[in-house]
Amino acid sequence: MEGPNVGLTWSPFLTPSLDVSSLFVIDSSTHYEVVRKITEGGMGIVYEAEQKGTEGFVKRVAIKVIRQRFAEQRLFLQNFIGEAKLVADLIHTNIVQTYHLGEARGVYFIAMELINGVNLEQFANQLMTKGRLLSAELAVFITSRIVRGLAYAHTKHDSKGRPLGLVHRDVSFKNVMVAFEGDVKLTDFGIAKAKGFLTDQEGEVVAGKPDYMSPEQADFRVTDERSDLFSVGVVLAHLLLGRNVFKGVTTDESINRVLEMPIPDFRTLHSKIDDRLNGILQKALARDVERRYQKAGKLLYDLEHYIYHGGYGPTNETLGAFIRELFGQGDFSQSDATRGGTVAMECKP
């Protein structure tokens, strides 16, 4: 087989491919240096890291290291890897991009796009601390960007044109980030399904938090893309009201509310919620899946029409300006407090 005709000198790193569909193979290992712990999530620890290239090339990435006790569960690991492979090609401005699924000495990790910003929980807490309220327009704008990401993922096909049938299953405040530039990004695509296979010490499946779950999900019934649209309704209501009406004191109470609580007339809960917005919320939060929004695209249309029908509406720039002002620009970096020694991580290509 001939070498690549790209002006490169043939070297041991470039080897002829055995796979008929590829031209040649570049055999190089990726080296990450972990510089800061961002946070400890339920499933793993999220770090900021530097991906090192040649001649001092450095790219900042986020790395999620899966907890060892989870990685040891075969069913979970199989599903986790399977889902990671499915979402590898999700490339959309409103979805945190997965760069790499790696394994180093039995430790599994995902390298992904690093978001310089906050999740919606931190955002809402800061609003509360500062005694500020989010305008209906910005709440709808944030929600509409989440739905853009979902609309893309829900309709994604594989290379042979078959629908992937992707459902996020964990659209919630913690899984939505707002970058200080004003971009809204959905995280953890494909992870919730694998989470459903996690078992505790007694071998029982660890159920997720029901606060943003659809009724069919809370009831362990089959879910499809419409389940995500219910969760979007919960996120929108939470952004508008500053509290989640489905959250109970206990998990059981939350499940009960998701399954049974009459969906409120949101106009009576806050004056900024008008007829149209209440209509969107009622349709997203319909317990009967047949009466709910059927497609993310339709919900997206209604949300965008709500904010833009009068002409100018919110943009990434207006959201960015709002969040930078809310956090005091540059204030939010924890880098100095938590930046410790670096941990080198070498992984199999």
Ligand X SMILES: Nc1ncnc2c1ncn2[C@@H]1O[C@H](COP(=O)(O)OP(=O)(O)O)[C@@H](O)[C@H]1O
**CA 169, CA 150: separation in Å to the nearest integer?**
11
- Single out the residue of 48, 50, 83, 188 in contact with Mg ion (rule: CB under 5 A): 188
Count of residues that interact with ligand X, criterion CB under 6 A: 20
- Single out the residue of 175, 217, 223, 227 in contact with Mg ion (rule: CB under 5 A): 175
Nearest CA-CA partner of 228 in 146, 301, 163? 146
* Residue 170 falls in the annotated catalytic set: yes
Nearer to ligand X, 60 or 85 (CB): 60
Nearer to ligand X, 26 or 206 (CB): 206
Contact 320, 181 (CB under 8 A): yes
Residue 33's beta-bridge partner residues? 50, 344
* x/- track of binding to ligand X for residues 99-118 (CB under 6 A): -------------xxxx---
**CA 164, CA 156: separation in Å to the nearest integer?**
6
* DSSP type of residue 272: T
231 lies in the binding site for Mg ion (CB under 5 A): no
208 lies in the binding site for ligand X (CB under 6 A): no
- Shortest distance in whole angstroms from residue 317 CB to ligand X: 21
- Single out the residue of 79, 94, 98, 119 in contact with ligand X (rule: CB under 6 A): 119
43 lies in the binding site for ligand X (CB under 6 A): yes
* Beta pairing, strands 24-26 & 14-16: antiparallel
Of 19, 170, 275, 302, the active-site residue reads 170
- Shortest distance in whole angstroms from residue 265 CB to ligand X: 31
Contact 215, 287 (CB under 8 A): yes
Other Cβ atoms within 10 Å of 26 Cβ, number: 11
Which residues, including other chains, have CB under 8 Å from residue 253's CB and lie 6 or more apart?
A: none
Q: Point out the residue whose Cβ comes nearest to ligand X.
A: 41
**CA 123, CA 238: separation in Å to the nearest integer?**
12
Site of interaction with Mg ion (CB under 5 A) = 175, 188
Q: Which residues are catalytic?
A: 170
Site of interaction with ligand X (CB under 6 A) = 38-39, 41-44, 46, 62, 64, 96, 112-115, 119, 174-175, 177, 187-188
